[in-house]
Amino acid sequence: MNRRPRLGLIGLGRLGAFHAENLVTRVARAELAAICDVDGARAGMLGAQLDVAWTDSVDELVGNRSLDGIVIATPTSTHVDLVERAARAGKHIFCEKPIALTLDDTLRAISAAHAGDVLLQVGFHRRFDPDFERAKARIAAGDVGRPYLLRVSHRDMSAPEPGTYLQNDGNLFIDAMIHDFDTARWLVGEVEEVTTHATAVVDPQFARDGDADHAVAVLRFENGALGVIDNSRSAGYGYECSAELIGSMATLRIGTERSGGFRWLTAGKAADDYSGNHTERHPVAYVRELEAFAEAISHNAPSPVPGGDALAAFQLSLAATRSHNEGRRAKPGRENRGVATTVLPSAR
Ligand SMILES: NC(=O)c1ccc[n+]([C@@H]2O[C@H](COP(=O)([O-])OP(=O)(O)OC[C@H]3O[C@@H](n4cnc5c(N)ncnc54)[C@H](O)[C@@H]3O)[C@@H](O)[C@H]2O)c1
């Protein structure tokens, strides 16, 4: 293709609006040609602000013949329908994580992309974070040696309102820890089994909704290494995404949570500013994942983050939920058909 791919974007909420702004101002390799949200007022306002054509009709956006690809940033429960429609229309697809809330829908979306012969990239933005990329390169070069122990800490500053969250975006293992499962597979290798614990200590409504606000997972990798993941929906001090890998030749650490170089020093103390959320923590990654999508379309190249990787991480989210609910270790890959909920004692 000897021009920049023309993209459409569906879903202009918290993340979609950020993607839209990035596409217009920072992603040089793509052109944002149209945006869409069922909330027409929201679409109209952002369209005017960014000077991009807008609509509240998904049919209109998907039927727009001038588009090469579509970015989907709607709630997770709506992804599979939109992926199928985009694939049928022959559009390449960037779909936010997770692809869907159930295994069946995840498989349906992946098959639709295959059938439509279109590229499907999933929004595991951390793979495009310069520090995580550097870690990946050193591990791949053998510089860490044999991996012994991975730690990933992934914590939000404050919890979202419980309520519709679970139906729309999935439980903590599916909505948040899926990023960490992807990181674990990408950096260390396949996970053989997972053991998890979850709790709702911030708001008991999470437990009543079949969800949790804190969780930990212990991973056993096929190569013998161990992993520990901790998730918090309400860490209070800021947003943290940090990782560490101890290996036979070196240990690597990722994640200075300081935003910028400002430091406040008083007698015997130093205070740093922390990132408040994921977009502040990984600004470059969110731009580069869309650059990679545009580049893959331009060069007819394979997806930088294919559906198979999203499926593998999702299966770990399902196993994690099962481990917690059944109080034992779980292996990924076993069938799980319904929407996974976390059963907490306080909700029983
Ligand atoms: N990769 C990441 O770091 C990351 C971070 C946050 C969210 N996400 C994912 O992004 C997706 C969106 O999350 P969010 O927090 O931005 O959601 P949100 O609720 O803030 O926004 C969703 C938007 O989609 C619109 N919408 C809903 N159904 C629609 C439909 N069928 N067609 C068109 N528009 C529709 C809504 O009106 C709303 O404006 C979720 O899948 C979530 O898991 C990923």
| pLDDT of amino acid 243 | 97
Mean pLDDT for 243-270 is 89
For the CA of 125, the nearest atom of ligand 1: 1
**Interval 298-335: pLDDT, tens:** 999 999 999 999 999 999 999 999 999 999 999 998 65
% of the chain exceeding 90 in pLDDT: 85
Judge if the beta carbon of residue 254 lies within 6 A of ligand 1.
no
Best probe residue, ligand 1, of 96, 128, 286 (max atoms within 8 Å of C-beta): 96
> Cβ distance 180 to 156 under 8 Å?
no
The pLDDT, as a whole number, for residue 263 is 87
- Write the pLDDT tens digit of every residue in 166-205: 778 899 999 999 999 999 999 999 999 999 999 999 988 8
For residue 325 the two structure tokens come to 């609910």
Residue 161 — pLDDT band, cuts 50, 70, 90? Answer: confident
Q: What is the pLDDT of residues 49-79, one digit of tens each?
A: 999 999 999 999 999 999 999 999 999 999 9
Does ligand 1 have an atom closer than 6 angstroms to the CB of 14?
yes
Q: Cβ(55) to ligand 1 under 6 A?
A: no
The confidence score (pLDDT) of residue 210 equals 87
What's the CA gap between 246 and 165, in Å, rounded? 35
Pocket test for ligand 1, best of 9, 15, 124 (most atoms within 8 A of CB): 15
Q: Is 37 in the pocket of ligand 1 (CB under 6 A)?
A: yes
Quote the radius of gyration of the chain (alpha carbons, Å). 20
Q: Give the strand pairing for 240-247 and 251-254.
A: antiparallel
- CB of 42 shorter than 6 A to ligand 1: yes
DSSP reduced 3-state for 235: coil
CA neighbours closer than 13 Å in the CB half-sphere of residue 244: 9
Centre of ligand 1 to C-alpha 236, Å, is 24
Quick check: 310 and 97 in contact, CB under 8 A?
yes
Ligand 1 in reach of 15 Cβ (< 6 A): yes
Report whether pLDDT(337) > 80: no
**Cβ(59) – ligand 1 distance below 6 Å:** no
Q: In this prediction, what percent of the chain has a pLDDT beyond 70?
A: 94
8-state DSSP, 117: T
Per-residue pLDDT reduced to its tens digit, 196-231: 999 999 988 888 888 999 999 999 999 999 999 999
